[in-house]
Chains A and B, each alone.
Chain A
Amino acid sequence: MSDRNDPDVALETGAQVPPDEPVIAPEPEPEEPSRWQQALRQIATGNAIISVLAVLLALLVGAVMIAFTDERVQAASGYFFARPGDTFAAIWDSVSGAYVALFQGAVYNFRRPDFVSGIRPLTETLNFATPLIAAGLGVGLAFKVGMFNIGGRGQMLLAASAAGWVAFSFDMPFPLHMIVAVIAGIVAGALWAGIAGLLKARTGAHEVIVTIMLNYVALYLVSWMLRTPGLLQAPGSNNPKTPPMKDSAIFFDLLGPQFNLHFGFVLSIGCVVLVWWILDRSSLGFQFRAVGLNPKAARVAGINVNRMYVYGMLIAGALVGLAGVDQVLGTVTTGFSSGIDAGIGFDAITVALLGGSNPWGILAAGILFGAFKAGGFAMQAAEGVPIDIVLVVQSLIVLFIAAPPLVRAIFRLPQPGAKPKKRTRSARKEEVAAK
C-alpha cells in the first residue's frame, strides 16, 4: 500500500484538490504505433477535445430544449405520422434560427453590410466578458487559497457604490478622477471581502456563511444608501438611483465611439497577468497555494495560515470589486440602482470553475460566457428564446468538463493511458473506478 493511496494521507488534503491521477504501471508496448496514430490518440484523449465535446453536448441539450418548447414544433408534431417531414423542418428552423442568432449576437453579424458593424457583436462579447473575467479571477484566487468566495454580489455592490460615489460627487481632471474612482471601488471590495477573511482567521467563522450573509447585508446597505438623499440618491429624485457618472471618471472607449468596449477590458487583462504572476511567480502565491492544498502542512512549514486567509480574501475582494467598478464606470454610466451587480458575482463562480481557477483558463471562460451573454440577448430579441437557456448551457458545460469520464463514455473516446489495442473490459472498468 503506497502512501499516495493511503486514506489518512488523502484525508489530510484539501477538499478542492482533484484526486490524483492513478499511477498506471507502464507496460511494454507490443509494437510501436505509427506517429499518426499517436497524434490521433493524443488529440482524442487530451483536455482540449473534452472541452470542445462538452460545449457541443451542452449545445445539443440546449437544442433539444429549444425544439421541444417551440410552438411550431409542437404544432407540427401533432400530425407527425401524417407528415413527419414537417416536424423535422420545424425542429431545424427553431434550433438553427436560435443558434444562428446566438452566433450573430456574439461573434460576427453577417447581415451587416460592412466589417465594422459586422464585428460589433464580438466587441459586445468582450464587453460582457470584462467584469466576468475580473470577478472570476477573484473567486478563482480564493479557491486557490482553499476558500469559497460566494460573496461576489456584496463585494461588487460595495465597490460599485464607492466608485460611483467618487465618480459622481467629485470634480477632478480626467485621468486622475478615473484612477481615484477605480481605487475607491477596489478598496471597498477588498475591505468587504476582508471582513470574511479576518473573521475566518480570527474566529474560524466559515467563510461560506459569512460571505453569503455579507451579500445580503451589502444589498440592504446599498439599497438604504440609494434611497437616502445626501448619500447615493440623485438630488431631486425619488427613485433609488444615483446621478450619472461624470465624464472625467468613466472608462474611455477603446475602439472609438461606435463600439461599447471600454478601458475596463484592458484592466481585466492586466489582472489576468497580475494574478498569474502572484500565483505562479511570487512567494505570496506559493504560500496561497500551499495553504489551499493543505493548511496543516502549510502551518508546519512556517506559513502564517491565518494571514494568508486575510490576504487571499483582500485580493479576491479587490478583483471582484474591479468587476463592480467595470459596471458603474463602463457599462451603466447613467446612474445605477441596487441591481448593478447583474448576477455577475454568481456567474463568476461558474467562470472560475470552468477556468479551473487558473488565470488563463478564467480569461477563456470569461470570454466564452461573455459570448453566451451577448448572444443570448440577441437570441431572445430575434427568436424569442428566453435567455435563461444560456444558464442551462453554461452549467452543463461546467458539469461535463468537470467529469471527463462521462464525456469519454458518451463519445466512446479512449481513456488516456490505456493501451491503444486489446483493451480488455476489466481494465476499462478499473480505470473508471480509479478516476
Chain B
Amino acid sequence: MTAPSQHHATAAPTERALDSTTVISWKAPISFAVITVLLAVLFLTTRHSGDAIFRLSGPRDLIQIPEITLNGPVTTWTCIVLLTGITVVSAAMVRAKRRVPLWLVVIFAVIGLVAFLTWAAAGARTPVIPLPGLLAGALSLSVPLIFGALCGVISERVGVINIAIEGQLLAGAFTSAVVASVIGQQWLGPIVGLAAAAVSGVLVAFVLAAFAIKYFVDQVIVGVVLNVLVIGLTSFLFSQVLAPNAALLNSPPRLQRIPIPLLSEIPLIGPMFFRQTLIVYAMYVIIVLVYIGLFHTRWGLRLRSVGEHPQAADTVGINVARTRFWNVSLAGAIAGFGGAFFTLGAVGAFNKEMTAGAGFIALAAVIFGQWDPIRATLAALLFGFASNLQNTLSVIGSPVPSEFMLMLPYVVTILAVAGFVGKVRGPASAGKPYIKS
C-alpha cells in the first residue's frame, strides 16, 4: 500500500492550496466581448430600420396581452451599449479577483437575445415574432433531448459513459410506433406504446451494461457500436417489415394534448408548459424525481459514490456491479420513454434514423449541464429554443440565411463549452470498469 499513500500525500496540499486561492478566469469577459463585437458587426453591416413586434399571446388565449413594438435600430444599439457595460463590469470583477456571477451571465444572454430577435424581426418581411409559438415549439423540440440528457446524467453519475442515448431514443421511437399501431386505440395504444418504449430502452441498456460491467469492454466502444446496431436493426426492420405493412404496423394513434385547467391560461407560460401531451407531463415529474433522487436520497448517494469512487463504495458494502447495472437500465428506460415522443408525440409514423442525432445533442447537454439533471435540462431547452428560433425566423422571412440560424445553437454551444463552462469535470470514475480485486 505504498503507492496510494504517496498519492494522497501529494494530493492533499494541492487541495488545500486550491481552497484558499480564488480561480481567476478571464473566460467570461472575453466571451462577452466576442459576442458583443459579433452582434455589433452584424447590426452595422445589415439594414434593420423597421419596427419589431413581439406578440405575447395567441389568438385563442383567455388573457390577451397587447403586442410590444420595438424600434429596430434604437433597441439594438441600446442593447449593444448594455452588453458593453456588462462586459466592462465583468472585466472589472475579474480584475478585482471576484467571480462573475451566474445572474450576470443570464442577464447578458437575455439582452443579447432581445437584441438579436429585434434585429432579425425588423429586417424581415413580416416583422412579428410570435413568442408563444416560439416557446411552445422550443419545448417540444427539447423533449427528447431532455429525456436523453437525464438518461446520460444517471448513467454517467453511476460510472458508465452512455454514448448509446441515440440508440435508446431510436429503439423507443420504433417500439412505441409498432406497439401503438398494433393495439391501435385512442388511449390504450399510445400508453402501452410508451411502456413498450421504456422496455426497449432498457433492453439496449442491458447490452450496454452487460458488455461494460460484465465483460469490461470500453464503454465508449459499446455505446458507439450500439448506436450503429440500433440504427441498422430499426432501418432493416423498417424497410423489410414496416414499410410494406404501414397501415397495420406503422400508423400509431398520436397522443392528445391535455390542457391543464387554469394553469394553461397563464399568459405566455401556460400554452408552453401546460397544453402538452402526457409525455411532457411525465417529463416534468421525471426531472423532479431524478433531481431529488440523485441529491436527496440514499439511492442517489449510493449511485454517486459508485460513480466517483467505486472502491470506497465497495468497501462500505455497496455492490458496485449491481448498482451500475440497474441504474444504467433505469437510465435506458428514461431514454426509451423519451424516444416515444418522436412517434407518439410529434410525427406519428416511424421513419429511418428519425432521431437524427438527438442523442448526441443530449450527450452535449449532459456535459454542458455539468452532469446535473437541472442544468442538463436547461441546456437541452437551450438547444431546442435555438433550433426553433430558426424555424420561426425562416417563417417570418428574416434576412439571415437559414443555414446560419441552424448553425447558431452549435456555435453557441462551442462558445459556451469553451468559455463559460471551461474545464468540466465529470464523475471521477465514469468510463472506468471496476475490477474487484
Contacts and interface: CB of A to CB of B under 8 A. Distances in A.
Contact of B229 (A221, A346, A392): A392
Contacts of A228: 401
A10 to B, nearest CB: 7
A223 B402 CA distance: 10
A402 B221 contact: yes
Contact of B418 (A3, A199, A221, A346): A199
Contacts of B432: 10-11, 15
Q: Which of the listed residues B231, B352, B435 has the most CB atoms from chain A within 10 Å of its own CB?
A: B435
B236 A8 contact: no
A217 B431 contact: no
B406 A220 contact: yes
25 contacts: A1-B437, A6-B1, A7-B310, A8-B311, A16-B218, A148-B220, A199-B417, A205-B418, A216-B407, A224-B401, A346-B228, A353-B225, A386-B240, A388-B235, A388-B352, A390-B232, A391-B232, A392-B229, A392-B233, A399-B217, A402-B222, A403-B211, A405-B215, A434-B435, A435-B216
A258 B198 CA distance: 52
Contact of B407 (A16, A65, A220): A220
Contacts of B361: 212
A223 B226 contact: no
A222 to B, nearest CB: 9
Q: Which of the listed residues A350, A388, A434 has the most CB atoms from chain B within 10 Å of its own CB?
A: A388
A401 B2 CA distance: 37
B433 A212 contact: no
Interface residues of B, number: 65
Q: Chain A binding site: helix, strand, loop or mixed by DSSP?
A: helix
A349 B224 contact: yes
Contacts of A8: 3-4, 7, 311
A205 B417 contact: yes
A216 B409 CA distance: 10
Given A8-B3, A204-B423, A209-B364, A394 B228 contact: yes
A65 B241 CA distance: 11
Q: Chain B binding site: helix, strand, loop or mixed by DSSP?
A: helix
A18 interface: yes
B232 A399 contact: no
A384 to B, nearest CB: 9
B404 A213 contact: no
A5 interface: yes
Contacts of A406: 211, 215
Contacts of B423: 203-204
B135 interface: no
A148 B3 CA distance: 30
B424 interface: yes
A350 B367 CA distance: 23
Interface of A: 1, 3, 5-11, 15-16, 18-19, 65, 69, 148, 150, 199, 202-206, 208-210, 212-214, 216-217, 220-221, 223-224, 228, 346, 349-350, 353, 385-386, 388-396, 398-399, 402-403, 405-406, 433-435
A395 B225 contact: yes
A187 B105 CA distance: 36
Given A9-B3, A208-B363, A349-B224, 18 more contacts: A7-B437, A204-B422, A204-B423, A209-B413, A210-B417, A212-B363, A213-B417, A217-B411, A217-B414, A228-B401, A388-B232, A392-B232, A395-B225, A399-B211, A402-B222, A402-B225, A403-B217, A434-B435
Q: Which of the listed residues A220, A349, A353, A389 has the most CB atoms from chain B within 10 Å of its own CB?
A: A220
Nearest to A195: B414
Contact of B404 (A224, A398, A405): A224
A395 B228 contact: yes
B225 A206 contact: no
Nearest to B7: A8
A191 B197 CA distance: 41
Nearest to B229: A395
B15 interface: no
A126 to B, nearest CB: 22
Contacts of B240: 69, 385-386
A398 B428 contact: no
Contact of A7 (B226, B228, B311): B311
B414 A221 contact: no
Contacts of A349: 224
A206 B352 CA distance: 30
B403 interface: yes
Contacts of B215: 402-403, 405-406, 435
B435 A399 contact: no
Contacts of B291: none
Contact of B225 (A213, A216, A399): A399
B407 A399 contact: no
A194 to B, nearest CB: 14
B69 interface: no
Contacts of A7: 310-311, 437
Contacts of A204: 422-424
B327 interface: no
Contacts of B410: 213-214, 216-217
Nearest to A3: B3
Given A3-B3, A203-B418, A399 B222 contact: yes
A113 B403 CA distance: 51
B414 A214 contact: yes
Interface in B385-437: 401, 403-404, 406-407, 410-411, 413-414, 417-419, 421-424, 428-429, 431-433, 435-437
Contacts of B411: 213, 217
A203 B27 contact: yes
Interface string B196-229: 0000000000010001000111111110111011
